[in-house]
Structure formats: structure tokens, C-alpha cells
């Protein structure tokens, strides 16, 4: 038997053992139904950034298929960020949408007007106007405001919670590892490039592809030239950390521009931008202690995976957001957003555009595999009798993620079966 290198599981990082793990949570329609209630109706869910709603009346909608709802996020007259179910209280029409009811929209308005019979709602959700109000029967307008959703903001990131009463406040839920990023100047990094992809795989399988770098030499050979690899160990992360349901990993290594030219596209070398973003981003000043918690030098990227479905990947001077929205047990919608400090010159703008395009290529390399993983895993479970798979030491975040998902589902099931005293 080969000698085992165990750096992470033995550091008691996960408490989830070293044995094979099951991916039944990614192929079972029944499990998906449980996840919808146990996770997506209980956890805090990231919706967007405060800069997306800069003024009174600025709003956007989010389609949350996994929770069976559409959410309207708006900045009210007092500057408060609020969230509501996007449904008119008259006869249940979708309140805010443009050409296609399932598309997400954004804009700015003074009031929300229903397309159907013209009821109007204030930015605080109150019912402000009813067409031919006197034809209703003792209508108490105060009782027919939009249905609010718990909404809170951390570091400019807007979160909602669909539980009747969230079990924890947003900051309690995020915990010390994530909130140690407080003070990072996300508010200065506001130039956004957004991508959406509909993928034929369970949402967790794509998240798994960004939770370990064991796959990098295999899948992204162009990204990791031999010179960068430890010849004995392949490519490996420099630091892993867990905190409650959340995870993070840091990479280190030589700066990309010190690599031989054959490991990047000519346009990367010409524009000084590409896979890791602009080579020289404007300085952001002091960074908070939560960044690079392992003190890795030279530091590369921090990837914070906030349970259940959003990741913040912090590079030098810019960051990326990934979010995985389940649409069924074997499909999901992936969102990638690159965020840069606003360009102050044409050259900087080109650097951002090049980084976005190169990002898309590498994300496609990961996404391109997903249908294959999903269909083969389904065959494994339902035809081949394969129910468990081995994961190695540096796949600890994959192990932890699936364990946490299982824990949340079990806790939910248990709470449902407990008879109140």
C-alpha cells in the first residue's frame, strides 16, 4: 500500500474522517427535495452587492428556483436595503418583471406597479394604491403590503433568509473566519463582468471543482507548468481552513508573469493581464487579518466558500464571485462575476476585458466536464452498484462540504420528527 501523506485530516480540520464518501446527495431527486427545505429555506443566501442598488428606488430581482420563489431587493427612501417576495397581493401576479417573467431584472423606480390591475406598492413594500378601491369589500390596505423576507448586509454583500425566523443573525451565521474579512475594500472594486451558465450537473459537483486543486495539473495543464509543480506532489494548496459550515483555501506560488511564455497566451503577455487578472492592480492599502489567514508567502489567491452556495475568490486587487443555484437534482445555474477597481485608463479597461475572457476559458474547462461527471455518477449509483468514492487529503474541503450538507439535512429531518413537548 502506498504511504499516505496526511496533513489536513490529521490536523482535525474536518472531523469527518478519512474513509470513502458518498455522492448520493448529488444524484438523488429525493435528497434534492430535502436540501431545498433543509438548506435553502434555512441558510442565509447571497443576493448581490449594495452597489447594484445605489439610489433610493434602485432594485433588482433574483429568481431562486430552488426555493420556488422570486425575490425583489430594493433600496427604500431611508436608504435601507429590503427584500420581498416578488408577488402582487391582489391576485398573485409576479410584480416586477419586464419582457419575460422568468428573467431577472433591475432598474430604478418610485413605486412598483403591477402589470395586471395596476396596484402600486411603495419602496417599503406598503400597498400605496388600489385601482377602484371602493369596489373592494372593507379592504384594509395596511394588511396587503408585499411579503417581506429577512434581509441583512455584510461588507456590502446583501443576504436574505427565507426561514420564518432565522436561527442565527447573518454575522453569527458567517462566523469569525468570514467576518475577519471586514474592512476589505469590496466597495472600491465595483467594475463588474457577469457570466451565467446553465449546467447539467448537481450544484455541489461544480462547487467541488473549485474546492480542490488536485485536478489542476490534469484538467488545466496549461495553467500549471512543470516548473511550478513540486515534482513529488503535483500541485497543492498552501492552506486550508474550516469554520462551521464554511471553508477556505489559499494558494501560493510564483507570480504568473515570471513563467515561461509558452504557459500563457500572447495576449496575456502583451496586455499584462489574464488568468490571475491584471498583473499590477492599483494598491488597496492595508488588508484585513481575514485575508491570507495562513500567512502564505508568496500569496496567490484566497477562496472563501460561504455555505451553502457562494464563493469569494480574492486575488491581488480584484475578486471573483461564484454562485451555484440548483434548478433540479442534476442541473444548476452558475454565476461568475469578476469585480475590478474601476478602470482609469483604456489600458486598464483592456486588462479587465482580457482577464474576463481568459477566466471564461478556464471556467469552461471545469464546466465542460460536469455533464460527464453527473451522468457517470448517476450510472454509478443506479446501475454499477458504486456507492462510495475515495477522496484524498487535499480534497478535504470536498469531504467537509458534503458532510455539512448531510448534517443540515439530517438536523432538519430530526427536527421535523421530534414531537413538541
Which residue ranges make up the site for ligand FES (CB under 6 A)?
Answer: 88, 90-91, 93, 114, 116-119
Give whichever of 37 and 139 is closer to ligand FES, judged by the CB atom.
139
- For the bound state, the minimum distance from the C-beta of residue 144 to ligand FES, rounded and expressed in Å, comes to 10
Q: How far apart are CA 12 and CA 250, in angstroms?
A: 18
DSSP string covering 112-166:
EE-TTT--EE-TTS-EEE-TTGGGSSS--GGG-SPPEEEEEEETTEEEEE-SSS-
Selection from 122, 65, 67 nearest residue 89 by Cα? 122
Q: How far apart are CA 306 and CA 173, in angstroms?
A: 10
- For the bound state, the minimum distance from the C-beta of residue 87 to Fe ion, rounded and expressed in Å, comes to 39
- For the bound state, the minimum distance from the C-beta of residue 285 to Fe ion, rounded and expressed in Å, comes to 31
Q: Tell me the window of 45-53, 113-121, 179-187, 359-367 that interacts with Fe ion (CB under 5 A).
A: 359-367
Q: Tell me the window of 117-125, 136-144, 362-370, 373-381 that interacts with Fe ion (CB under 5 A).
A: 362-370
Give whichever of 119 and 299 is closer to ligand FES, judged by the CB atom.
119
Binder of residue 75, out of ligand FES, Fe ion, none (CB less than 5 to 8 A by kind): none
Give whichever of 93 and 287 is closer to ligand FES, judged by the CB atom.
93
Binder of residue 93, out of Fe ion, ligand FES, none (CB less than 5 to 8 A by kind): ligand FES
Give whichever of 191 and 366 is closer to Fe ion, judged by the CB atom.
366
Give whichever of 114 and 397 is closer to ligand FES, judged by the CB atom.
114
Q: Is 255 buried (19+), middle (13-18) or exposed (0-12) by CB count in 10 A?
A: exposed
Q: Kindly report the three-state secondary structure assignment for every residue of 72-103.
A: EEEECCCCCEEEEECECCCCCCECCCCCCCCC
CB 152 within 8 A of CB 44: yes
- For the bound state, the minimum distance from the C-beta of residue 133 to ligand FES, rounded and expressed in Å, comes to 12
List Cα–Cα distances, 215 to 39, 109, 306, 381, in angstroms: 28, 47, 21, 23
Site string for Fe ion, 148-187 (x = CB under 5 A): ----------------------------------------
Binder of residue 119, out of Fe ion, ligand FES, none (CB less than 5 to 8 A by kind): ligand FES
CB 187 within 8 A of CB 156: yes
Give whichever of 94 and 360 is closer to ligand FES, judged by the CB atom.
94
Binder of residue 366, out of ligand FES, Fe ion, none (CB less than 5 to 8 A by kind): Fe ion
- For the bound state, the minimum distance from the C-beta of residue 64 to ligand FES, rounded and expressed in Å, comes to 21
Which of residues 24, 353, 366, 371 is near Fe ion by CB under 5 A? 366
Q: For the chain, state the CA radius of gyration.
A: 23
Q: How far apart are CA 281 and CA 287, in angstroms?
A: 14
CB 168 within 8 A of CB 104: no
Q: How far apart are CA 271 and CA 62, in angstroms?
A: 35
Binder of residue 399, out of Fe ion, ligand FES, none (CB less than 5 to 8 A by kind): none
β partners of residue 313: 303, 320
Percent helix, percent strand, percent coil in the chain, to nearest 5: 30, 25, 45
Binder of residue 387, out of ligand FES, Fe ion, none (CB less than 5 to 8 A by kind): none
Cell of 269: 503577455
Give whichever of 58 and 374 is closer to Fe ion, judged by the CB atom.
374
- Tell me: does residue 234 bind Fe ion (CB under 5 A): no
Give whichever of 206 and 299 is closer to Fe ion, judged by the CB atom.
206
Q: Summarize as ranges the residues that interact with Fe ion (CB under 5 A).
A: 366
Amino acid at each position: 500500500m502506498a504511504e499516505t501523506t496526511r496533513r489536513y485530516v490529521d490536523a482535525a480540520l474536518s472531523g469527518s474522517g478519512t474513509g470513502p464518501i458518498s455522492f448520493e446527495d448529488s444524484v438523488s431527486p429525493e435528497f434534492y427535495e430535502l436540501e431545498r427545505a433543509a438548506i435553502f429555506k434555512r441558510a442565509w443566501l447571497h443576493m448581490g452587492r449594495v452597489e447594484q442598488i445605489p439610489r433610493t428606488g434602485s432594485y433588482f430581482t433574483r429568481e431562486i428556483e430552488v426555493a420556488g420563489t422570486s425575490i425583489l431587493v430594493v433600496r427604500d427612501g431611508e436608504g435601507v436595503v429590503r427584500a420581498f417576495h416578488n408577488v402582487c397581493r391582489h391576485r398573485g401576479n409576479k410584480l416586477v418583471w419586464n419582457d419575460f417573467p422568468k428573467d431577472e431584472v433591475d432598474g430604478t423606480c418610485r413605486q412598483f406597479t403591477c402589470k395586471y390591475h395596476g396596484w402600486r406598492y411603495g419602496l417599503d413594500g406598503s400597498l400605496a394604491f388600489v385601482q377602484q378601491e371602493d369596489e373592494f369589500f372593507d379592504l384594509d390596505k395596511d394588511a396587503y403590503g408585499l411579503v417581506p423576507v429577512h434581509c441583512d448586509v455584510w461588507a456590502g454583500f446583501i443576504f436574505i433568509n427565507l426561514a420564518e425566523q432565522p436561527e442565527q443573525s447573518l454575522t453569527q451565521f458567517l462566523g469569525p473566519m468570514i467576518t475577519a474579512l471586514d474592512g476589505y475594500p469590496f466597495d472600491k472594486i465595483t467594475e463588474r463582468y457577469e457570466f451565467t451558465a446553465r449546467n447539467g450537473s448537481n450544484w455541489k459537483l461544480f462547487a467541488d471543482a473549485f474546492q480542490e486543486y488536485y485536478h489542476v495539473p490534469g484538467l488545466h495543464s496549461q495553467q500549471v507548468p512543470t516548473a511550478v509543480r513540486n515534482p513529488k506532489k503535483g500541485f497543492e494548496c498552501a492552506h486550508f481552513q474550516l469554520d462551521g459550515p464554511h471553508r477556505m483555501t489559499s494558494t501560493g506560488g510564483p507570480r504568473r508573469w515570471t513563467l515561461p511564455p509558452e504557459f500563457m497566451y500572447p495576449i496575456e503577455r502583451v496586455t499584462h493581464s489574464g488568468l490571475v487578472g491584471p498583473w499590477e492592480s492599483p494598491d488597496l492599502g492595508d488588508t484585513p487579518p481575514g485575508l491570507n489567514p495562513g500567512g502564505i508567502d508568496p500569496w496567490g489567491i484566497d477562496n472563501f466558500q460561504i455555505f451553502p452556495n457562494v464563493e469569494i475568490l480574492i486575488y491581488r486587487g480584484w475578486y471573483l464571485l461564484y454562485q451555484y443555484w440548483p434548478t433540479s437534482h442534476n442541473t444548476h445555474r452558475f454565476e461568475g462575476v469578476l469585480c475590478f477597481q474601476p478602470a482609469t485608463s483604456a489600458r486598464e479597461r483592456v486588462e479587465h476585458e482580457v482577464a474576463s475572457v481568459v477566466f471564461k476559458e478556464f471556467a469552461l474547462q471545469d464546466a465542460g466536464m460536469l455533464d460527464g461527471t453527473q451522468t457517470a455518477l448517476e450510472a454509478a449509483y443506479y446501475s454499477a452498484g458504486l456507492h462510495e468514492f475515495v477522496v484524498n487529503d487535499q480534497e478535504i474541503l470536498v469531504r467537509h462540504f458534503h458532510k455539512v450538507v448531510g448534517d443540515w439535512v439530517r438536523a432538519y429531518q430530526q427536527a421535523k420528527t421530534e414531537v413538541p413537548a
